[in-house]
Amino acid sequence: MKNKILFFSPFFITFLLVSSAGWSLEPSFSSAPSTSTESSKLTEGAEAPQMLLTTEGDSHSPKVSGETAPSYHKYSSVHVDGPYIAMTFDDGPSPTLTPHLLDILKEKGVKATFFVIGQNVVHSPEIVARASAEGHEIGNHSWSHPMLTKLSEEHLQEEVQKTSDAIAEATGKKPTLLRPPYGAINQRIGKMIEEKDGLTIILWSVDPLDWKSPGANVVAQRLIAGTKPGSITLSHDIKPGTIQAIPEVIDAFKAKGYKFVTVSELIALESKAPASAAQSTKTK
């Protein structure tokens, strides 16, 4: 028998090799889109601010994305010519801690501003009345501490108006300032609150992150290190560590020559002299 010689073309040989190896000559595409655990979408008009530890003053104020030139008044600090500062306390009144803080402030001769939650005012109106009678300023911090930028207009107005009414009933005076919970604010909400409720938006320039309960010493160090003339400091009169830190903080501020005023008084002291962008954080 004669041997048969089979002739295979180069293409046919390539085909056999590919098939035996289980390879494919087709390009490979992934049908599933890539995902990232770090990406997320916010509801329209519900910009969440970046909360930063402020140890260098105004450059670390709360920041709200997408807002460059607000059509309303907003302060995180005030450019002043003298050594004036405003200490503020949020989320009270606390039935036990706020009276203790008021005792400290009275003993030290310090005036402060309290941004109160409406529900707490209703439960402890006598504490708010005392704070007002002793010369402290009472500001609106909403009724139940929601993120205002996520509320409907009707719900927003209810949160603001009920709190202002509760403050007025307790003190005989309607508030003129509002601090939005979490510092969350945008153009629409800020303008609405100013025009409909007559309230100026107040943020802050020094945040010791005392809501994380880092301890009295840490709270004191952060407040002392971050404060400069015109600062608006943030802390919470519902945190025991904060109350423990305040005497040391006040003594340190006095040693630096600072003078204590309410937020409205600080705004009234605003200097008309030119200020750099780092010195003035008021916007209109």
Distance CA 33, CA 206 (A): 42
60 given a catalytic annotation: no
In sequence order, what are the residues at sequence separation of 6 or more whose Cβ sits closer than 8 angstroms to the Cβ of residue 160?
A: 140, 142, 143, 178, 193, 197, 199
Distance CA 16, CA 214 (A): 70
Q: Let me know if 69 is exposed, middle or buried by CB neighbors in 10 A (0-12, 13-18, 19+).
A: exposed
Fill in the amino acid letter for 256: K
90 given a catalytic annotation: yes
The four Cα atoms 150, 237, 220, 136 give a dihedral, to 10 degrees, of: 100
Of 58, 79, 90, 197, the active-site residue reads: 90
Residue given tokens 């003993």 in the structure block: 107
Indicate which residues carry an active-site annotation. 90, 236
